[in-house]
Every structure is written in C-alpha cells, then in structure tokens.
Structure 1
Amino acid sequence: MNRISQLPDELLLKILSILPTKDVVATMLLSKRWQFLWTLVPRLVYDDSYQNPEYGRFSRFVDRSLFMNEAPVIETLRFKLGQICGSGDIQVWIRAAHKCCVRELIIEIVTYPSSRSPVTLPKSLYTCCRMLVTLKLSNAVLVDDVASSVSFPSFPGDEFVNRLLSSCPVLEDLVVNRSTGDNVAVFNIIVPSLKSLVLHGPWIFEAEAHGFVIDAPSLELLDVLDTTNAFFVIRSNMPKIVEANVVISCDHPEQIMGSITSVKRLCLCVKDAYPAGSIFCCLLSLKICTCETEWLNLLMHVLRDSPKLRTLKFEKCRGPENVEPRQSWIEPSAVPECLSSSLETVEWVKYKGTEEEKEVVAFILRNGSCLKTGTINPLQSTSHREKFEMIKELAFFAQAFAYFPACV
C-alpha cells in the first residue's frame, strides 16, 4: 500500500476511475494520503439495479458523494437504477451533474417482468446539462415538454422526436435501439451535423406504417438493422459515407442503396431492388448475405458497379432457411471489371456446397485474375464426409484454374 501511495495523483485517479464509486469512497479510510483523493475522481458509477430494500441509504450515499466531489470536470456519470428510484431523486442528481460539468451522462433503468410502471425522467434533463457531450438512456421515459430551449437529447411521439433532434445543432453520433412500445411510428432524423447513425429496430412492430426519414448529408457511418418491413425515405445523398451496414427487409431498399454510392466498406442483406445507374466507385470491401432468395442478382449488380473492389465475403447473417424457391445461377455475359483487375480476397462463411454456391465459386476462380487468398468455412453442422466431398470439389476448381494461388 505504501508503494501505491507514492504514485502521483494523476495515476491514482486513473486507477480509482476504474472502480465502482462505493469502493472509491471507501479508500478514504486507508490513510491521510487517501482521505480526500476520492473527491477528485472524474468517473462516478452508481449501481442500485438489484433493488436493495434500503434504497434510502443508497440515495443518501449518491447525494453526499456528488455534493463532495471536487473534480473540475466529471468525464462520466453513470446511474444503473431499479424501479424503486423516483424521478425526484434523478432530478436532484441531474442538477448536481450540471454543477459538476458532466461530459457523459448514462441513465439505465433495469426493468423486470413485475415492474409496476416505467421511470419518468425529469424535465430538467433538457436544460441543465449544458456541458454534456454524450447522453445514453435505456428503458426511461422522457416527458413531452420541450417547448422551451433544449440543451441536448422511449419517446412520447413523432413530433417530440422532431423537436428534440432539431434542438441538437452539433449532434454527431446517434444510436437508436427501437422497442415495440416506443410510440413513434415515423422516426425523423434531420440532422445536418450527424456523422454516425445506428438504427436497430425490434423484431415486431405494432404500427402498420412505420419507418425512418433520414436527412444527414455529413454521415460517415450508417448501421441499419430492421426486419419489420419499415420504410426508408432518404432526403439527401451521403457523399462522405465510408462504411455502411444495411440489413433490412423492406420492399424498396433502393433509396438507401442509391444514397451511399461513395461507401468504401459495405455489408448488404436486402432484397434485390437495385437502383439503376448506381456506381460504387470507392467500394473496397463487400460483405453480402445469402439469405435472401435473390442474392445472386444483387451480387452481380454490385460486382458490376464496383471497379475497385478488393475483398469479397459471403455469409448468411440472419433468420431461418428461406422456404421460397432459390434462384438458378445464370452466368453473366460480361465479367465484372473488379474480378479481372482488383479483387484479391474471397471468403465464404457457412458454406453449404449448394449448386448455386459452387457455380459462384467456380465463376470467381475462373475470372479472378488478381486473387491471392480464398477461404471457405462450412457450416458447423457439416459432417466429416460432407466436408471431404467439399474439399475434393474445391480442389478441383483450384486445379482447373491453376493461376489462382488460393488457400482453401
């Protein structure tokens, strides 16, 4: 302990920032050297998710430790709370967060099947934390009262979301994990400053017409996962987009596809609704899902329009086996430019050895003049006999096109 006490305050504070706040405060009993050091810790974590019956004791501990904290800036203030916690306590803590210049505020309400009602966050959340950079909310309800100015961001309704996001003029990162009962049918995201957008929908959505309207011309990262047939309206192209992960089941994904043509890394699991005239002139890495019945059409469209593609990966990424009839392989009359000039790496995850898969592998090996590495990973359930047959077939392909130095 003496050796640790000799470390400089800056290093000790970094060590203390890793610990739960209740353990940090306990260090004041170690010696005079530690008596007030805990009051300068810039990261506070309060956990009452176990719904301790002595909630009053927990509440008083939070009040006192927040009041005594003298750190110039609190980098992270995190609350993990059970249903016993009330909005009155949270209101007091949010005001304390404002005085402590909190940069990141995390409020997570742990719900249980027997929960009586959701915890409502106070109106002061909109106006108190003017130094806030990051806000993370989970299982909490916001009051629909943003008539006055808002300093930053389950939602009460569509219009509330519009007003909330419009009050965030410098918002750069937005993560939305939707739930079945979030009461927002159309999620409008009109944020010119936005650089990163993550939209993950529920497995089931109650409203018949629901979806997203996106206007984010500065976007660099897009991650969309929605299997509820939501609609997507894209109001502006995304010329700065670098990476996109698009896993959706809507009937018209061409709106998204046509707006991300500047992307460099792309993951696709969509129906074959390809926008005419799209050219992925910057695309270097493509991961394409094989679960949709028309994935072959989509593959050939993207290969044709991606002249600089270097890495290609196949993987079935979601859902049970599709019962609809699968496509038959029809070899294209023209070889995509990327196969003969840039494609270097091919990987197939969960390879089953179906006729369509074998035809695609043979086509790529036959025309991939620049290929350096090929990796085939069969399904885990594949028997040793089936794997042996796959190896013989793949070895035959590799020998037939001897210029391909693949590792299969």
Structure 2
Amino acid sequence: MPPVDSICHLPDALLLRILSELPTAKDVVATMVLSKRWEPLWKSVPKLVFDDDSNQNIDDTGSRFSRFVERSLILHEAPVETLHFNLTEESLVVNEIGVWIALAVKCSVRDLIMDIDCPTILPRSLYRGSGMLVSLKLKSVTLMDVSPLPSFLTLKALTLASVKYPGDEFVRRLLSSCHVLEDLDVEQCVGDNVTIFTVKVPSLISASLYKSAKRCTQSEDGFVIDAPSLEYLNILYDTSGFCVIENDMPHLGEADVVASHSSPGVTLTSFNSAKRLFTCLPYSKDAYSVGTVFHRLVYLRICTCETEWLNLLMRLLNDSPNLRFLKLQECHKIDSTRPCWNDPSSVPECLSSSLETLEWVGYQGREEEKEVAAFILRSGSCLKKVTISSKSTDSDKKKLEMLKELSLSFRRSPTCQLAFN
C-alpha cells in the first residue's frame, strides 16, 4: 500500500474511484481525517453503502446509526450514483426510512438498493425518485399502495426479493409503469398477497421469476407474461402453479424452466423459439403440446434428477431437428425412482444430421444411463466431441469400467473425440 502522501497528488476523479471501493460509508467518511486534501472528498463519492453491521463492534444504537445516515446524506454535495442500505432489525429505525429515501432523491440517486433483514414498510417517498432511478433492488420490504402510481421513466433494472405487495393489481400497475424496464428479477415469498403475478412489459429483455417452496398456494397461483422482447427467461417453481405466455417471444435466446412435482401448469410450449434451453421437469407427457417443434434450438441441457428425464429427452430430441449441443447433468437431488429405457423405433433427425457435441456431467454408469449413452453414441452420425464426467467420489477402477463400456458403444470416427473425466 503506497503512503497517503503519494496518493494525495492523484486527481480527484481517481481518488473518488478509490473511495467508492471502500466497504461502507463509515469507512469513506473516516478518510476525512487523513489530511486537508482528503477532508472534503467524501462529500463527492458517487457510491455509499450504509451497513449497520459495521457498527456493532462499537455498540452503536439504532438512533446513532440513523443520525449518521441522515447527516451523511444531508452533507453530501454531489450526485450519488449508487446508494445501498444493508439494515438489520437491531439498529433499524423504521420511521427514519422515509427521511433517508427523501434525502436519496435529493442526491439524485440512480441505483438504489434496500436490503433489510426484517419486514419493513417502505413509505410513499420511494416513488418520488421514480423519475431518476435506473436500478432498484428491494429485499424483505412491504410496498404501500399508491394511486395513481408515477411512471418510472428511467428504470431499467428491478429486483424484488421477498417483497410483500398490496395485491395482484398493484403488481400489474407497478410493472406497467416501468416503460423502459429491461431486467426483472422476482422472488415471491410467503404471504406476499399475490396470486397471479402479471409481467406485462414490452421493453423487458431479461426476466428471472421464482416461487418459494414455503408458499402455501393453490393451483391458480402463477405467472402471466406478456413480454415480446424477451431474450432470456428463467422460471423456477418450488411450489404448485402455472405459467402463461400471452404473446410470442420471437427474440428468445435462452430459457431455463424448472418445476416441482406439483406444477403441471408449467410447460415448454411457449419456449419453442429459444436457441438455448435448460429444463428440469417431473413430467414428460404434458411437458409441451403435441406438434410443437423447436426449430431454433441448438443447445439443450436436461437435468437427470427426475424419473421422467429419459422420456423428456427423447421427446425433445425428436422435436429439435437442428440441435447441435446436448448436455446431460444432475443439477438437483436425484429422484429415488429410476427410469426405464426402451430403444426407440426410429432415430431422431438431430442425431443423424446435426448433433455435434455430447457432454454428460455426473455420469454414474447406471443401467438407464448406459443404455441412452450407447444409443446416442451409435446413432450420432455427426458427433465431433463426446465428454463424459463421472462423480469425483467414484474410484479409478469404476471409472475405467465405465470408460470401457462406453468405448464398446462408440461409433468409430476419425473426426470424433471421446473424453472421460
């Protein structure tokens, strides 16, 4: 670390960048005692993190922390690009949050993060910054209803984690007021008072939607999505529910779809325009409508933890004529009931015309795994690279046996490489 004197001669812009990398606002303010050169700099730092955990070692009370936050924001002289509140119940003064947000608006905050360790009601003052916010991240808060909702004219990224809402209609109005929103990350929690979470945002490019397993919901609980500009969509259900796509997503590049045993309403039918697909479903028959063809799909990753994964794999291979990359991977806790393999009556078109790469992570040499691997290796006319990775706990002897078995099924080709890790 160079001495303070040598750093003092650096230009202000560089010093402010250095201060922005400090962990908390408390650390930033502390630099004012270094020298007269440093004394005013903290008032212009573009990033402030108020973390009440950092005060516990000196036995700060909530009131003292609140005064520090308020005074720091009042004295700040330059716009704040990023303002991050990391709060715990011990020092949270609920009545002060409205004041802090009002001061944040005064500081022209563009990126606001509210990470709170206990349920907290955010005041209406949050919406006063709607005209300048570019990124908003809320965790463990309760939103108040406001009518009419202001338009978030500049908001491009929104994260809602364990947030409680006034109801379904409020969520629909909130997201509809975000006219340029591009990234949305939602984690629905217990007791959020929303049954149908509607995402109707024409500008949306990326969305990750998750329903917690702890939610006590009924079958009518789900997501309704109308976002024709989507390029990435991640749907994760740990509980029952459905997902309705109201319009085509012609620009969809990647989709991740994971559902639990109790979510037969989540299907792949609306994802047939995806180029890359990762899926883990406990069912194959109702995974998507008969006649659906995945013409654009070139990359497919299937989780092998569910009993139905083999049937789902064969359906997707038959309905993905241009598939080039196939990855099989056990991503979750494996189902105790193992599937049975039946040799198909015909070879899927992609195996004979387009599939170039097979990657299998967590291969254990189970009977059904050996059968499907042998089928793909025999039928893959265009295969160029096959990589099989066993579990790290397998012995060298077992790995050698699995390699020998796979080699017997391998279609000999000078252009294809078989690697066993």
TM-score by length of structure 2 reads: 0.88
Q: Measure the CA separation in 1 of the matches of 2:278 and 2:115.
A: 30
Q: 2:9 aligns with which of 2, 6, 10?
A: 6
Deviations 1:310-367 (A, max 9, x none): 22110122234243x623322241x223223332221111112122211211111112
**Deviation (angstroms), 1:17:** 0.6
Who is 1:28 aligned against?
32
Q: CA deviation at 1:100?
A: 1.2
1:266-314: per-residue Cα shift (whole Å, max 9, x none)?
1011221232222222222110112222222221222223233222110
Show the 5 A alignment for 1:47-196: 47-49=51-53, 53-71=60-78, 73-83=79-89, 84-111=91-118, 118-143=119-144, 145-152=145-152, 154-196=164-206
- Partners of 1:214 and 1:67 lie apart in 2 by 41
Shift of 1:46: 0.2
Distance (Å, rounded) in 1 between the aligned partners of 2:300 and 2:233 = 15
Say whether the 8 Å CA contact 2:306–2:335 is kept in structure 1: no
Q: Tell me which residue corresponds to 2:244.
A: 233
Work out whether residues 175 and 200 of structure 2, in 8 Å CA contact, stay in contact via their aligned partners in 1.
yes
**CA RMSD for the aligned pairs?**
2.0
Output the amino acid matched with 2:93: G
2:289 maps to amino acid = P
- Structure 1 regions of 5+ residues with no counterpart? 112-117
Q: Distance in 1 between the 2:151 and 2:314 partners?
A: 48
TM superposition shift of 1:159:
2.1
State the secondary structure of the residue aligned to 2:417: coil
The one-letter amino acid of 1:90's match is I
Structure 1 stretch 222-231 or stretch 370-379: which is displaced more?
370-379
- 1 CA distance for matches of 2:293 and 2:19? 52
- Equivalent residue for 2:419? 407
Q: Is contact 1:28–1:36 with CA below 8 Å preserved after alignment?
A: yes
Distance 1:253 1:59, change over 3 A: closer
1:377-396 correspondence runs (5 A): 377-396=389-408
> Does the Cα contact within 8 Å between 2:149 and 2:174 map onto a contact in 1?
no
> Pick from 213, 217, 222: which aligns with 1:207?
217
Alpha-carbon separation, structure 2, partners of 1:376 and 1:226: 29
2:138 and 2:71 mapped to 1: Cα distance?
A: 24
**What's the CA shift string for 1:184-213, capped at 9, x where partnerless?**
222111222211110122123212231111
User: What TM-score, normalized by structure 1, do the two folds share?
Assistant: 0.91
List per-residue Cα deviations over 1:69-127 (Å, max 9, x = no partner): 122x322100011224233211111111111111110001113xxxxxx2211111123
**What is the match of residue 248 of structure 1?**
259
Q: Which residue of 2 aligns with 1:115?
A: none
Pick aligned residue for 2:342 from 297, 320, 329: 329
The letter for the 2-side match of 1:94 is I
For residue 319 of structure 2, what is the aligned residue in structure 1? 305
What amino acid is the match of 2:146?
A: V
Q: Distance in 1 between matches of 2:42 and 2:382?
A: 59
Offset at residue 53 of structure 1 (A): 4.5
Aligned residue pairs: how many?
A: 395
2:151–2:179 contact (8 Å) kept in structure 1: no
Distance 1:182 1:56 in 2: 30
Residues in 2 aligned to 1:8 and 1:327: alpha-carbon distance in whole angstroms: 69
Q: Verify the 8 A CA contact 1:348 1:377 in the aligned structure 2.
A: yes
Cα pair distance change 1:93/1:129, threshold 3 Å:
farther
One-letter identity of the residue aligned with 1:225:
L
Residue type of the alignment partner of 2:298: L
Structure 2: distance between partners of 1:87 and 1:166: 29
CA distance in 2 between counterparts of 1:77 and 1:298 reads 46
> More displaced, 371-380 or 351-360?
371-380
Do 1:128 and 1:151's aligned partners in 2 also have CA atoms closer than 8 Å? no
Q: CA deviation at 1:370?
A: 2.4
Say yes or no: does 1:283 pair with 2:297.
yes
Report the Cα distance in structure 1 between the residues aligned to 2:392 and 2:150, rounded to whole angstroms: 52
Q: Which whole-Å CA distance do the structure 1 matches of 2:376 and 2:126 have between them?
A: 56
Assess, with a 3 A threshold, how the Cα gap between structure 1 residues 218 and 375 changes in structure 2: closer, same or farther. Answer: same
Q: 1:5 is matched by which residue type in structure 2? A: C
The answer for unaligned runs of 5 or more in structure 2 is 153-157, 159-163
